[in-house]
Structure 1
Amino acid sequence: MSKGSDFGLLLVRVGVGAVCVAHGAQKLFGSFGGYGIKGTGGWFESVGFVPGERNAIAAGLAEAGGGALLALGLASGPAGAAVAGNMTVASTTHTGFFNTGGGYELPATLGLVGAAVAAGGPGRYSLDALTGDALNKPWMRAFALVAAAASAAYLISERAKVLAARGDDTDAEDTGDPHATDA
């Protein structure tokens, strides 16, 4: 890979990582206009992720922790997989594609970047490159992507069961909650 390509990958990693950190901080600490664990947990419960506070903590940690590691280029396989898995689940609370209509374009984009870095690596301008990929071995990347996909499938299926038991097929867009564009 050329130095220019590595620099471009650095910019993408830092930009997407920073967005993920901010989203996680909204959930965990109420930063950046977020609702913290309690408020986010209440919204999570309303859209079928039960128990809400536990799911808010897990989502916040995946976003903030995964985003920070993604930006640093450290443990990039597991970090990218955490972001990808979390954003896959987040996209299920959205309706349609475009974010302006409550769509999933933002979580889909963040998740795709996470998956791409997990699969392809962080580039030479990363802590993984500096440490000889000590925390980013090929088996770690593969395991993390499989684990993230399995976890996302489980969470999505559990949410579907909760909604079915409620007789509710309400999407996030219908709840009137400001979290509707940020699951």
Structure 2
Amino acid sequence: MTHHHTRTDLGLLALRAGVGGTIFAHGAQKLFGWFGGHGIAATAGAMESMGFRPGRRSAVLAGLGEVAGGAGLALGLGTPVAGAASAATMTTAAVVHRPAGFFAMSGGYEYTAMLATAGSALAVAGPGRYSLDHVLGNRLNRPWMATVALTALGAAAAHVITQRDKAVAAAAAAQQTSDAEQVAHAEQAETTGA
């Protein structure tokens, strides 16, 4: 092995450990309440309020995608699928932050988008030699797997995002209607002297 390959493999290991560990921790917060998280019931309520319905199923799927994707990346196990799962969950998370713009300091999607980008890049690049995939003869790390996983999980994320955007739009329209009815009722009360 050349010095160049050793550097690349160490770089991939560092990137996998950092990105995978971070994504795993987010999932563990959702599923188990670890690392100061709120657990599945509170996460389900939060997901519902963000337009992901049903909330419990959304929380479980997001948590599983993050736990499995993050652990898989960190260990270098099933890296194409782990990277794609991480990218899909982080892309979906980025949508929640979209109204605040790009930068994380303003509540934007910068952070989740970078995690999604790193997950996608690792799905394509592979885990390097210092990985369980390498130990297992890359049986779960074939080049075609990255294409299939990124396509399938990207399509799933796009579907979830579309459904969520529809739910948010419907809730906004219902709120507008409710607000308009309250204003009309208040005006009617004023004119009738009620």
> d(CA) in 2 for partners of 1:38 and 1:3?
44
The answer to which structure, 1 or 2, has the higher relative contact order (CA under 8 A, 6+ apart) is 1
Structure 2, unmatched stretches of 5+, are: 174-194
User: Identity of counterpart residues, as a percentage?
Assistant: 54
Partner of 1:17: 20
Matched with 1:159 is 164
Q: Quote how far apart the aligned CAs of 1:93 are.
A: 0.2
Q: CA deviation at 1:131?
A: 1.3
2:44 is paired with a residue whose SS is helix
4+ residue runs of structure 1 moved beyond 3 angstroms? none
Counterpart Cα distance in 2 of 1:122 and 1:11: 10
For residue 24 of structure 2, what is the amino acid of its counterpart? V
What residue in structure 1 maps to residue 187 of structure 2? none
Using the alignment, how far apart are the partners of 1:144 and 1:113 within structure 2?
A: 15
Return the match for 1:98 from 103, 106, 112. 103
* Alignment partner of 1:56 out of 59, 63, 81: 59
Q: Which residue of 2 aligns with 1:27?
A: 30
Shift, 1:65, TM fit: 0.8
SS at match of 1:32: coil
> Which structure features the higher share of helix residues?
2
Question: Tell me, what secondary structure is at the counterpart of 1:129?
Answer: helix
Corresponding residue of 2:39: 36
In the alignment, what sits opposite 1:68? 71
C-alpha RMSD of matched pairs (Å): 1.6
Q: TM-score, normalised by structure 1?
A: 0.89
Aligned partners of 1:17 and 1:164: how far apart in 2? Answer: 33
Structure 1, unmatched stretches of 5+, are 169-183
